[in-house]
Amino acid sequence: MPFRFLTAGESHGEAMTAIVEGIPSGCSIHPGEIQKELRLRQKGYGRSGRMKIETDTVQILSGIRNEKTIGSPITLLIKNNDFSLGKDLKRLETPRPGHADLVGALKFQHNDIRNTLERASARETAIRTAVGAICQHFLKDFDISFLSYVTQIGPVRVQKKMIRYIQACQKKGESTGGCFEVRVRGLPLGLGNFSQWDLRLDGRLAQAIMSIPAIKGVEIGEGFKSSELLGSQYHDEIFYNENSKKNSFGFYRKTNRSGGLEGGITSGEELVVRAAMKPLPTLSRKPLRTVNIFTLEDARAFSQRTDSCAVQAASVVAKNVVAIEITRAFLEKFGGDSFKEVKNNYNNYLRLRLPKK
């Protein structure tokens, strides 16, 4: 069964939900590990007051018994504590530049912008984080680990100065973006495929991260810097040692400018993905100019409670959507109905060697 999932729910709806299909039976899944990722997503300087309202407690409604998957679809639910507030929210008519407000209202013919923003909201990433946490937990049994961290806030690259920069933006009623990095260790050589364009793992990873609201750029390894280098300066030379990493068949690199991917396939080196996040579009003190969608008169974009900076939260979400895509590729290669079968397929693969001449 292929790995897939679907999410549903609105920002101020009753709950966010997901149905996950294709995780083999017999995998250990501890709810506490999911909760840990959800708590990380709520942290970060610059988050809004909503993080004090929401507990983001995940409920597992199906597919897991006694902390073991049973092979059937897994249903996850996160209730929105802010649901009661959503019942009385007024109709919105002045779209924010940089958000899905205008294009969504016109595309779906809504007479209330809120019908668009409720689903386009980054609140949806809470349930995707829960799905990714399950995937991280599954891959942990294959010694695959994930890490994400913030590398830049606005123009500031020194961690000690990042909070001061966010505070300065808050005083001005401004929002700010930044950059983050996701790293994955322990990946075997061979995940992904170059035989069709939509099977290339680099493309799938880029799409997954770009699907996070406010992400505007993605690079793998020294992606953008590679455009400035000569071929002899950029490409990672290949070496062999039979006692090298078991997951790369003895082949290894002394550099990793490609970020662990070549031809859309993992090379056995560490996967390195970076992304850029734009400033969020809701500005509390200085809303941007817009047009009222009904009167067609000049107006100011509406303002509501929002994060002034959500880069750290986005880095946690990105780590988990990367885990989702790695799990998809992993099960495409080593898939089976049970964890034991997948593990056996994986171990047999690691014993392979190139055919002799």
Position 53 confidence tier, pLDDT thresholds 50, 70, 90: low
Q: What is the structure's pLDDT at 157?
A: 95
Check pLDDT > 80 for residue 305. Answer: no
Token output for 25: 């039976």
Check pLDDT > 90 for residue 89. Answer: no
Q: Which amino acid is at 197?
A: W
Distance of CA 183 to the CA centre of its chain: 12
Report the C-alpha dihedral over residues 216, 220, 226, 231, rounded to 10 degrees: -150
Over residues 90-116, mean pLDDT: 94
Angle at 349 between CA 345 and CA 353, to 5 degrees: 160
Q: What is the pLDDT of residues 275-289, one digit of tens each?
A: 999 999 888 788 999
Check pLDDT > 60 for residue 194. Answer: yes
Token output for 56: 């983001």
Token output for 49: 């007051």
Q: What is the structure's pLDDT at 85?
A: 54
Q: Global pTM?
A: 0.94
Instruction: Check residues 152 and 45 and name the one with the higher pLDDT.
Output: 152
Report the C-alpha dihedral over residues 199, 205, 206, 211, rounded to 10 degrees: 110
Q: What is the structure's pLDDT at 88?
A: 65
Of the CA atoms within 13 Å of residue 102, those in its CB half-sphere come to 15
Q: What is the pLDDT of residues 159-179, one digit of tens each?
A: 889 999 999 999 998 999 999
What is d(CA 253, CA 190) in angstroms, rounded to the nearest whole number? 15
Domains of the chain and any CATH numbers: 91-350 (3.60.150.10)
Report the range of poorest mean pLDDT among 15-24, 296-305, 309-318.
296-305
3-state helix, strand, coil in the chain (%, to 5): 35, 20, 45
Q: What is the structure's pLDDT at 303?
A: 81
Distance of CA 44 to the CA centre of its chain: 16
| End-to-end Cα spacing for the chain | 36
